[in-house]
Amino acid sequence: MYSDGYREQGLRQQLVSEIIKKGIKDKRVIEAIGKIPRHLFMDSAFVNFAYIDKAFPIGSGQTISQPYTVAFQTELLKINKGDKVLEIGTGSGYQTAVLLELGAKVFTIERQRNLFLKAQRFLPQLGYHPQFFFGDGYLGKPTYGPYDKILITAGAPEIPPLLVRQLKPGGFLVVPLGEMSQTMVRLIKSDQGKDIIEDHGAFSFVPLLKGTAYDK
C-alpha cells in the first residue's frame, strides 16, 4: 500500500549521515531515523523533500519537525525499553514512531482534531500502536501516569506545572522553552523537591497552544 523503495532507503541513509555530522551519537536513535519512512508522514506536495533535514507543513498550522531536531530531543530523553513516555503534540506521528522504535510505551496527545484522526488511522498501518488522545496537551494524561519521560514538541512559554506533576522522580521532561524563539530544556525531576533544569541550545518551534481545535 505504501511505497518505500531503494531510492527512499538510500536517501534516508544520506539523512542519517547528515544528523551524525551534526552531533547525534545515540546509535538507537540513529537506527530509528534510518528505518522510519519519513516521506509517508508528509503531505504529497512535500514528499520529494522528505529526506532534506528541514521542517515542513503538515496542515492545521503545524509542521513535521526537522529530523535533526527529532533526533536531538529523543537523544535528550535517554529512552529505555519499556519507558512510559507522554508525548505532547502528535502532529504527523513521525516523532511518535521514533519513540516506539526505541521500545517506549507511548501516550500521545494532539489538540488538532484533523491531525489526531489522521495519525490515529495512519500509524497502525505502519505497525505503530501508541495510545492516542485528543485533548489539551497542557493538561497531560494523569490517569495513565506517572511517566518516565515527557516530550513536548511545540514551543511552550513555561514548563507546564501539571506535566511536571505527572513525571516520575528521576524522570526527564524535554521542552523547547520560549515564545518567539526557544531554548531546548531538559528538566530532571528531583525527589528532593528541587528539579534540575538544563539548557541545550536554541531551536525554533511552532507554539504550544491550549485547548483543542476543530479545523473546518
Would you state the cell numbers that stand for residue 116, as one nine-digit string? 489526531
Q: Exposed, middle or buried: residue 121 (CB in 10 Å: 0-12, 13-18, 19+)?
A: exposed
Judged by DSSP in three states, 46 sits in helix
Catalytic one of 3, 44, 65, 92: 65
Residue pair 104/85 in contact (Cβ under 8 Å)? The answer is: yes
- Please indicate whether residue 60 is annotated as part of the active site: no
Distance from chain centroid for Cα 172: 14
- CB-based contacts of 194, cutoff 8 Å, min separation 6: none
Catalytic residues, which ones? 65
